[in-house]
């Protein structure tokens, strides 16, 4: 009977396994193989060389792209964590009605009814040289000339990331906070703890799993993104995803494949570190 159940379990898992093999594992294997190929201006040359990796790991352009990528990832993580924790704390501990919490969540998800590109483009008339922000500051006499850093800059890229991915931090943190036994908070208050001590010693430690899960979402999304950098950076700045996109545009597929492999390895190392801090199975 046990062997029969095991066979049924294998048959039930086989469709998903085949899908993962066909659409995840196989493409990664192909990318890994192509990353060792040679190429010229008009064709790919099947080979086994390490030139693509050698150039990738020694090029100052690659180093700058990775520095920009980690900078964007850290800043986006920091600001989304601050916003996500604050919003989740407010929803979990200051709104006691389930209906009110649902309404607030729906309000938070309204921007997701449109595509990321539309949401990014909506910042352009607001932050542009002749946009609403500069026009208002000039009219109020606060500035003498338009602020150029508001758009097509690192500031604009980070702002777009925070706008796009804050909800990915709110949801897992809120889920963790809703699991906190309220009697623990009451016990801490009865023991003489002030609001800050309750937050530091009770709320934050018990919300760690949600913070880590939200961090995984935000970090992986930012590390692999290039559209946001392309639109909001205006071609002035670049990250690893943008570098790979440019190589694909120039038909330099082996170099792009090598960049993709290195980026994948970098993200996987980050995920291994984060997964060691929380049991992801408890959050699913």
Q: Name the average pLDDT for the chain.
A: 87
Residue reference for tokens 């919300």: 207
The count of domains in the chain is: 1
Residue 23 belongs to a domain: no
Please, what is the Cα angle at 250 between 248 and 253, to 5 degrees? Answer: 45
Q: Taking a C-beta distance cutoff of 8 angstroms, is the pair 163, 119 a contact?
A: yes
Residue 32 belongs to a domain: no
Residue 10 belongs to a domain: no
Residue 103 belongs to a domain: yes
Strands (E), 88-221: none
CB contact set of 187 (below 8 Å; sequence gap of 6+): none
CATH at residue 194:
1.10.3720.10
Angle between helix 60-93 and helix 154-178 axes, rounded to 10 deg: 40
pLDDT for the residue 4: 63
Say if strands 44-45 and 38-39 run parallel, antiparallel, or are unpaired.
Answer: antiparallel
Mean pLDDT along residues 130-148: 87
Residue reference for tokens 């970090």: 219
CA distance 91 to 105: 9
pLDDT band at 119 (very low <50, low <70, confident <90, very high): confident
Which residue segment(s) compose the domain that 251 sits in? 59-283
Q: Classify burial at 147, counting beta carbons within 10 Å of its beta carbon; exposed 0-12, middle 13-18, buried 19 or more.
A: middle
pLDDT per residue as tens digits for the range 195-231:
889 888 899 998 998 999 999 999 999 998 988 999 8
pLDDT for the residue 1: 47
Residue 145 belongs to a domain: yes
CB contact set of 163 (below 8 Å; sequence gap of 6+): 111, 119, 120, 123
pTM reported for the whole predicted model: 0.88
Residue 127 belongs to a domain: yes
Residue 117 belongs to a domain: yes
Helix, strand and coil content of the chain, in percent to the nearest 5, comes to 75, 0, 25
Residue 143 belongs to a domain: yes
How many residues does the structure list for the chain? 284
CA distance 133 to 110: 23
CA distance 177 to 156: 31
Mean pLDDT along residues 121-149: 87
pLDDT higher than 70, residue 67: yes
Which structure tokens are listed for 188? 């801490």
pLDDT band at 54 (very low <50, low <70, confident <90, very high): very high
Mean pLDDT along residues 85-93: 91
pLDDT band at 103 (very low <50, low <70, confident <90, very high): confident
């Amino acid at each position: 009977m046990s062997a029969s159940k095991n066979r049924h379990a294998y048959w039930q898992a086989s469709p998903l396994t085949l899908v993962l093999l066909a659409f995840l594992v196989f493409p990664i294997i192909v990318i890994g193989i192509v990353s060792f190929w040679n190429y010229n201006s008009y064709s790919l040359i099947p080979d086994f060389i390490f030139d693509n990796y050698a150039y990738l790991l020694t090029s100052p352009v690659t180093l700058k792209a990775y520095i920009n990528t980690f900078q964007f990832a850290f800043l986006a993580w920091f600001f989304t964590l601050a916003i996500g924790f604050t919003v989740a704390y407010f929803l979990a501990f200051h709104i006691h009605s389930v209906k009110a919490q649902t309404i607030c969540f729906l309000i938070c998800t309204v921007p997701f009814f449109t595509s990321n590109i539309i949401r990014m483009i909506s910042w352009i008339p607001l932050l542009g040289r002749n946009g609403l922000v500069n026009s208002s500051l000039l009219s109020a006499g606060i500035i003498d000339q338009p602020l150029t850093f508001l758009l097509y800059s690192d500031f604009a890229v980070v702002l777009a990331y925070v706008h796009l991915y804050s909800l990915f931090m709110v949801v897992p943190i809120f889920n963790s906070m809703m699991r906190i036994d309220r009697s623990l908070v009451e016990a801490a208050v009865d023991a003489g703890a002030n609001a800050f001590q309750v937050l530091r010693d009770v709320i934050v430690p018990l919300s760690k799993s949600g913070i880590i899960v939200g961090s995984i979402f935000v970090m992986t999304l930012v590390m692999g993104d290039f559209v946001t950098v392309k639109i909001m950076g205006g071609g002035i700045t670049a990250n690893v995803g943008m570098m790979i996109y440019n190589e694909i545009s120039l038909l330099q597929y082996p170099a792009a494949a090598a960049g993709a492999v290195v980026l994948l390895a970098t993200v996987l190392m980050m995920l291994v570190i984060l997964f060691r801090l929380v049991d992801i199975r408890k959050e699913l």
